[in-house]
Amino acid sequence: MIVDLRSDTVTRPTAAMRAVMANADVGDDVFGEDPTVNRLEATVAERLGKEAALYVPSGTQANQIAIRCLTEPGDEVILEQSAHPFLYEAGGPAVISGVTLRLVPGVDGVMDPAAVRAAVRPPNVHHTVPRLLSVENTANRGGGTVTSVARCQALSDVARAAGMNTHLDGARLWNAHVATGDPLADFAAPFDIVNVCFSKGLGAPVGSVLVGPAALMPKARRVRKMLGGGMRQAGILAAACLYALDHHLARLADDHARALRLWEGLTALGYSARRPDTNMIYITTPDAHALAARLGEHGVRCIALAADQVRLVTHLDVDDAQVEFAVGVFEWVRG
């Protein structure tokens, strides 16, 4: 048996998802004429309580468009020290937006409003202008942790008081919503711009949606074009996202339950990991690369994200039997 716990991005479209993709109504989306993309954008804007939306190829591009739309070159973006645009977007904020990043250490990826307030520097000719606060929910490197609606609001209040714009990287906002039961729109309300991904827990092959004020969308659309993200008959892809919204959202609770079962099994074996909020477990171990390699040899695929950290992620293509198998392999390699 192979159990792939590397990421929730490794899922493959189901037969039913492929069928709706094959039958999707399409048009040229750069002309705004793809009915399925238009339906996806309207649906996501409505679910997240925002005026307008834009379908883009990836979460990375969504983050970069958001940053470009809400800053000017020379500005500063405040974000948590393990946030995706800092760690994993190839220096995009510097190249695409000409901004500097100011990092705030959080607890398990979750920022404290007081720490953000302290990071906002007063106006001074020497300083970059703090222009944008970016929050990641759930926080990937934090351990799939949820920033509560109240904390989102408190963080946004600090930013607004400082005259800053606000962005939510909601690549896995779906998981925060299902884990807490709080409405997606409540998580989104404190932020100017929000992006969500369909290619992670929701199991679609491609795509993210950026939502925000209608007045910002022409600029977002232009930046998408500049970055090469204008796609033509993209309805084939958007159809998968619509399908995922209808069929794969509530079932994230299964991923969370499996992550918890995995965590219980691993902690019973003596492994050290924070109890998961959602679908991720980060094991702290002195020999992460060696452990990941040994697990891989026995059919459990996972990633050593640091010398002392192994990440495990549950998703659509992991069932109960695979979770039990994985726990067994962890026991075996522990010796």
Ligand X SMILES: Cc1ncc(COP(=O)(O)O)c(C=O)c1O
Residue 104 carries which side chain, given as an amino acid letter?
Answer: V
Radius of gyration of the chain (CA): 20
Among left, alpha and beta (phi > 0; psi -120 to 50; other), residue 23 is alpha
Residue 302 three-state SS: coil
Tell which positions 180-199 bind ligand X, by CB under 6 A: 197, 199
Of the pair 11, 58, the CB lying nearest ligand X is at: 58
Taking CB under 6 A as the binding criterion, the range among 54-62, 127-135, 233-241, 271-279 that sits at the site for ligand X is: 54-62
Comparing CB distances to ligand X, the nearer of 59 and 276 is 59
Q: CA 58, CA 207: separation in Å to the nearest integer?
A: 5
Looking at beta carbons only, is 80 or 325 nearer to ligand X? 80
Q: Which is nearer to ligand X, 191 or 330 (CB)?
A: 191
Region near ligand X per CB under 6 A, out of 53-61, 113-121, 212-220, 275-283:
53-61
Pick 280 or 327: Cβ nearer ligand X:
280
Minimal CB distance to ligand X: which residue?
59
Assign 3-state DSSP to the chain and report helix, strand, coil percentages, each to 5: 45, 20, 35
Region near ligand X per CB under 6 A, out of 59-67, 68-76, 102-110, 184-192: 59-67
What residues are paired with 281 via a beta bridge? Answer: 312
Ranges within 200-239 binding ligand X (CB under 6 A): 208
CB-nearer residue toward ligand X: 140 or 166: 140
Q: How far is the CB of 110 from ligand X (least distance, A)?
A: 13
Angstrom distance (rounded) from CA 136 to CA 142? 10
> Rule CB under 6 A: is residue 277 a binding residue for ligand X?
no
CB contact at 8 A, 173 and 200? no
In the complex, minimum distance from the CB of residue 273 to ligand X, in angstroms, rounded to a whole number: 18
Looking at 36, 140, 147, 279, which residue binds ligand X (CB under 6 A)? Answer: 140
Torsion of CA 139, 143, 149, 153, to 10 degrees: -50
The two tokens of residue 211 are 């939502």
- Which is nearest to 195 in space by CA: 68, 314, 14? 68
- Judging by DSSP bridges, how do beta strands 272-273 and 280-284 pair with one another? antiparallel
36 binds ligand X (CB under 6 A): no
Nearer to ligand X, 84 or 167 (CB): 84
State which residue, 257 or 305, has the beta carbon closest to ligand X.
305
Q: How far is the CB of 155 from ligand X (least distance, A)?
A: 16
Name the minimum Å distance from CB 262 to ligand X: 19
Contacts of 200 (CB under 8 A, 6+ apart): 7, 8, 9, 59, 171, 172, 315
Binder to ligand X among 11, 36, 58, 285 (CB under 6 A)? Answer: 58
Q: What's the closest the beta carbon of residue 268 comes to ligand X, in angstroms?
A: 28
**189 closest CA partner among 231, 140, 156:** 156
Q: Does 60 participate in binding ligand X (rule CB under 6 A)? A: yes
CA distance 76 to 280: 30
- Point out which residues bind ligand X (CB under 6 A): 58-60, 63, 84, 136, 140, 169, 171, 197, 199, 208
